[in-house]
């Protein structure tokens, strides 16, 4: 369980929750598909389609009430959405980093297929994906009006001069990203710290935050869409940035988590002693601080509190949008999908941030609700963000989209625990992959080193079983699901990128000196 006291040299508490996923089959990569033709459906058929609202959240792990990731978290609006739809309790991202994760969601392709692993490049710069039909484009082709605001792709993309062309979306709305106020002086002072690496009580009012403005914009769009006489269905993307750093929120959100009763995540001292050295290479030099710095600076509890406050703040913004959807009478004919691009460490595995292949970094909230779908369902089947594209195509009864690498979740939306054949697969830079089933998490790094965790017995991933001979067959079976396509870094790749030539690991262009490891 979570604890309100600092961790010591033994395991603190017991797991707060367990993860359950059933079934797995081999992963197969599809051949890249050509651009599909425009829809020939009649106007009447198009008008009968449901609307789609896609809500994305940045850096939100499973600290959501309906997922049980933290016993104190207050997220009533996401919980209410889960209560009227299906929450996928073991959904995972395809990459634990913003740009590759969001690229995967929108293209329906794995990072191992596109080669997009870092914060660069924009996938359209790659010749073979220049004309690839993305999720919103496919709906646009089939009669939908597509609208986006806030952070849908990684903030830098598409480039500013390409945003209002009508190519990626019909309407490019309020984006933000540079409009958040900053305190006159950083609240958290890290030597050489990144400008975004800050957290605490700020600003004074919700309305001063970009996410508030994004929610206001989304509500205005819903109001206008409801008033229009057009029968054209819409696909509206609304992207929020919290709890991504800087973890700022007004005082009222921090008041939900009193300092004196704050529970800290479970941490095992020496947890990394049985993990490969290569596991450090995936997050070699990052702006996010190690647990050691947080504790030495006395900021470990303040970060957890700020993350929780930021999560509750963004939940409030989700609530504003969902309330407007209902107020305009659109909720009865709108499929709602809520997801986060990846998880986040708050001290677990001795780090903060993402960029790992453990559950804390890969497990994400994913909730789907809509007309004629069961309410209050919980699916423990393996699910991936990659599945959003084919699922929405299926739910909206569009022609099947060829070439996608995910699979529709419609069977689980109709019967939550309908067996699913595929595990969840997460990759971070070429050669580093995690396979997640109902019982196991298997990780293989580019240098061949491995980790294996029994997630039913050890949901905190404290005991690496990879070297135990009795699990040799388990590892062999799990290794069958490793991606068959494993493309190297795409041209233009930069930022948080790692390569391995069989002898030397190279981080962002510089060879790694293993002796320089800072824990």
Residues catalogued as catalytic? 98, 154
Provide the token pair at 302.
Answer: 């303040």
> Helix, strand or coil for residue 167?
coil
* Residue 517 Cα to chain centre, angstroms: 28
DSSP 351: B
Q: Are 339 and 93 in contact (CB under 8 A)?
A: no
Taking Cα atoms as reference points, which of 86, 123, 65, 21 lies closest to residue 413?
A: 86
Identify the CA nearest to 115 among candidates 125, 100, 105: 100
Angstrom distance (rounded) from CA 9 to CA 3:
14
- The pair of structure tokens assigned to 506 is 């190279």
| Among candidate residues 496, 507, 476, 382, the one with its CA nearest the CA of residue 111 | 496
Q: Which residue has the tokens 């069989």?
A: 502
Distance of CA 294 to the CA centre of its chain: 24
Q: Which two tokens mark 12?
A: 């603190």
DSSP code of residue 18: -
How, if at all, do strands 51-58 and 234-243 pair? Answer: parallel
Integer-rounded Cα Rg, in Å, for the chain is 22
The DSSP code for 494 is: B
Between CA 359 and CA 93 the distance in angstroms is 10
Give the closest residue to 265 by CA, choosing from 352, 363, 189: 352
Burial class (CB in 10 A: 0-12, 13-18, 19+), 54: buried
Query: Could you give the CA distance from residue 343 to residue 360 in angstroms, rounded to a whole number?
Result: 6
Handedness of CA 466, 469, 474, 475 (dihedral sign): positive
Phi, psi angle pair for 135, to nearest 5°: -55, -55
Calpha distance 363→91 (Å, rounded): 6
Q: Tell me the three state secondary structure of residue 187.
A: coil
Rounded-to-integer distance, Cα 393 and Cα 487, Å: 27
DSSP state of 436: E
| Cα–chain center distance at 4 | 27
For 393, residues 6+ apart whose C-beta sits below 8 A from its C-beta are 138, 399, 400, 401, 408
| Enclosing H/E stretch for 366 | strand 366-369
Helix extents (H) in 145-290: 210-227, 251-254, 278-281
């Amino acid at each position: 369980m979570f604890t309100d006291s600092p961790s010591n040299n033994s395991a603190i508490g017991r797991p707060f929750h367990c993860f359950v996923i059933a079934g797995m089959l081999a992963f197969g990569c599809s051949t890249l598909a050509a651009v599909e033709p425009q829809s020939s459906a009649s106007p009447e058929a198009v008008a009968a389609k449901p609307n789609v609202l896609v809500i994305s959240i940045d850096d939100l792990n499973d600290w959501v009430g309906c997922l049980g990731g933290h016993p104190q978290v207050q997220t009533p609006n996401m919980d209410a959405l889960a209560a009227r739809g299906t929450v996928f309790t073991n959904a995972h991202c395809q990459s634990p980093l913003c740009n590759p994760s969001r690229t995967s969601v929108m293209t329906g392709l794995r990072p191992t297929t596109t080669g997009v692993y870092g914060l660069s490049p924009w996938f359209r710069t790659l010749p073979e994906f220049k004309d690839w039909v993305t999720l919103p484009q496919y709906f646009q082709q089939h009669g939908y009006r597509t609208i986006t605001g806030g952070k849908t792709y990684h903030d830098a993309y598409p480039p500013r001069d390409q945003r209002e062309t009508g190519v990626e979306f019909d309407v490019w709305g309020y984006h933000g990203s540079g409009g958040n106020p900053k305190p006159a002086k950083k609240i958290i002072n890290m030597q050489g710290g990144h400008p975004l690496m800050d957290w605490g009580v700020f600003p004074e009012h919700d309305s001063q935050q970009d996410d508030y403005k994004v929610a206001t914009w989304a509500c205005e769009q819903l109001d206008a869409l409801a008033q229009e006489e057009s029968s054209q269905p819409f696909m509206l993307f609304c992207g929020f940035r919290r709890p991504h750093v800087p973890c700022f929120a007004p005082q009222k959100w921090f008041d939900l988590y009193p300092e004196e009763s704050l529970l800290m995540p479970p941490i095992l001292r020496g947890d990394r002693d049985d993990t490969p050295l290569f596991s450090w290479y995936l997050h070699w030099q990052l702006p996010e601080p190690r647990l050691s710095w947080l504790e030495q600076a006395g900021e470990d509890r303040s970060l957890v509190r700020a993350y929780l406050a930021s999560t509750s703040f963004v939940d409030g913004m989700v609530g504003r949008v969902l309330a407007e959807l209902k107020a305009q009478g659109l909720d009865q004919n709108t499929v709602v999908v809520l997801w986060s691009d990846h998880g986040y460490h708050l001290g677990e595995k001795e780090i903060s941030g993402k960029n790992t292949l453990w559950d804390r970094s890969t497990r994400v909230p994913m909730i789907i609700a809509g007309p004629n779908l069961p309410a209050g369902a919980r699916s423990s089947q393996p699910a991936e963000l990659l599945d959003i594209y084919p699922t929405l195509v299926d739910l909206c009864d569009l022609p099947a989209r060829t070439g996608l690498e995910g699979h529709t979740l419609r069977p689980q939306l109709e019967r939550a625990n309908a067996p699913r054949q595929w595990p969840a697969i997460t990759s971070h830079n070429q050669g580093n992959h995690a396979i997640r089933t109902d019982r196991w998490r298997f990780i293989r790094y580019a240098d061949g080193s491995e980790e294996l965790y029994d997630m039913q017995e050890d949901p905190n991933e404290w005991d690496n079983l990879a070297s135990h001979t009795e699990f040799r067959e388990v590892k062999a079976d799990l290794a069958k699901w490793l991606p068959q396509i494993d493309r190297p870094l795409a041209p233009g790749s930069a930022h948080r990128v790692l390569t391995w030539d069989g002898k030397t690991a190279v981080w962002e262009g510089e060879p790694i000196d293993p002796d320089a490891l800072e824990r």
